[in-house]
Amino acid sequence: MKFSHEILETNAGILLIGTMIAISIGGLVEITPLFLIKDTVEDVPGVRPYTPLESRGRDIFVREGCYTCHSQMIRPFRDEQLRYGHYSLAAESKYDHPFQWGSKRTGPDLARVGGKYSNEWHVQHLNQPTSVVPESVMPNYPWLAKTPLDYSDVADRLRALRTVGVPYSASEAEYQANVKQFGAEVANTLRIDKAQENLVAQAQAGNYDGDRSFVSEADALIAYLQVLGTMVDFSKVKPEDLVKYR
């Protein structure tokens, strides 16, 4: 049988398969090389997966839709570097599933907000942004500090992240591998069997929302915000080395 346009145009099924093949070629050509090319993810020390508390804070960030107004991606432009700090590295979001790069900046970029403000400031700001930044258009989130954090399923959440490649440890061997890669202190926070215990301990020690009587959603969210962009020590990274990862 001779191939002709008419076959495609008059058979919906064949048209569908043909369309899918055509689109996949485009996709494969663009995506496959990124898996092969060696210099996409920078080799920098310090990046670690989130602790259970930070990870739950990240869930709340996503739940509240913070990404609709805040990006977490400092682009390599001079104006952005001056305002927000060092440009974001691919390595810094390698444990983010899904990443929170975002594309809309109604508010400022948050990729390096960690350590910039105090916990107290974050509590005031989340509760009522205009109390500290009078010109802010960000909505109030007064329920965060009042709502107890549901962390009953935190181990399951870490297990889910583990299946997509985040090195939370489910066995002694994985724990030992983490000790080697991240050091004992961090490796301990990545243990799935101790997830709840670690979460509560960090919230107690950090006292992020200034109220130790219960672990609130604000505790988790602030713990997450305070770690953003702080893992890589840029005084130990040469700028020209990062240039070569592109």
Partner 1 sequence: MAENAQTQGPQTTGHVWDETLQEFNNPLPNWWIWGFYATIVFAITYWLIYPSWPIGKSFLPGVFGKIEYTNSEGQTETWHWNTRAKLLKETEEAAALQKPYFDKLASLPYDKISKDPELSSFVVSAGKPLFADNCAACHQSGGGGKIGSYPNLTDDNWIYGGTYDKIQETITKGRHGYMPPFAEALDPAQIEELANYVLSLSGEKADPAKAALGNQLFHSHTAACFYCHGNDAKGRQDIGSANLTDKVWLWANVPGASDQAGKVAEVEKVITGGLNRGVMPTWEGRLKPEQIKLLTVYVHELGGGK
Positions that interact with ligand HEC (CB under 6 A): 117-118, 121
Nearest to partner 1 of 5, 152 (CB atom): 5
Measured from the CB atom, is 121 or 214 closer to ligand HEC?
Answer: 121
With binding defined as CB under 8 A, does residue 213 bind partner 1? no
Query: Could you tell me the smallest distance in angstroms from the CB atom of residue 80 to ligand HEC?
Result: 19
Is 59 in a helix, a strand, or coil?
Answer: helix
Binding-site partner at residue 243 among partner 1, ligand HEC, none, CB < 5 to 8 Å by type: partner 1
Which is closer to ligand HEC, CB of 133 or CB of 179?
Answer: 133
What stretches of 91-244 show up as alpha helix (H) in DSSP? 119-127, 154-163, 172-182, 184-189, 195-206, 217-227, 239-243
112, 85 contact by CB (below 8 A): yes
Torsion of CA 71, 76, 81, 83, to 10 degrees: -40
Which of partner 1, ligand HEC, none sits in contact with 76, Cβ below 5 to 8 A by type?
partner 1
246 binds, among partner 1, ligand HEC, none (CB under 5 to 8 A by kind): partner 1
CB-nearer residue toward ligand HEC: 117 or 245: 117
128 burial via Cβ count (<10 Å: 0-12, 13-18, 19+)? middle
What is the residue-wise DSSP string for 76-104? Answer: S-HHHHHHH-SPP-GGGGTT-SS----S-
What part of residues 35-74 is at the interface with partner 1 (CB under 8 A)? 36-38
Residues in contact with 109: Cβ distance below 8 Å, sequence separation at least 6, in sequence order: 70, 71, 72, 73, 74, 80, 83, 84
What binding mask, one character per residue, do residues 71-110 give for partner 1 by CB under 8 A, x or -? ----xxxx--xxx-x-x-----------------------
Q: Which does 165 bind (CB under 5 to 8 A by kind): partner 1, ligand HEC, none?
A: none
The single residue among 119, 127, 189, 198 that binds partner 1, judged by CB under 8 A, is 119
191 contact choice in partner 1, ligand HEC, none (CB below 5 to 8 Å, kind-dependent): none
CB of residue 10 vs partner 1: minimum separation in angstroms?
8
- Contact (Cβ atoms closer than 8 angstroms) between residue 126 and residue 144: yes
Cis peptide leading into 45, omega within 30 of 0? no
Of 59 and 219, which has the nearer Cβ to ligand HEC?
Answer: 219
- Residue 101 binds which one of ligand HEC, partner 1, none, with CB within 5 to 8 A depending on kind? none
Tell me the C-alpha distance between 140 and 126, whole Å.
6
Which residue's CB is nearer to partner 1, number 98 or number 236?
236
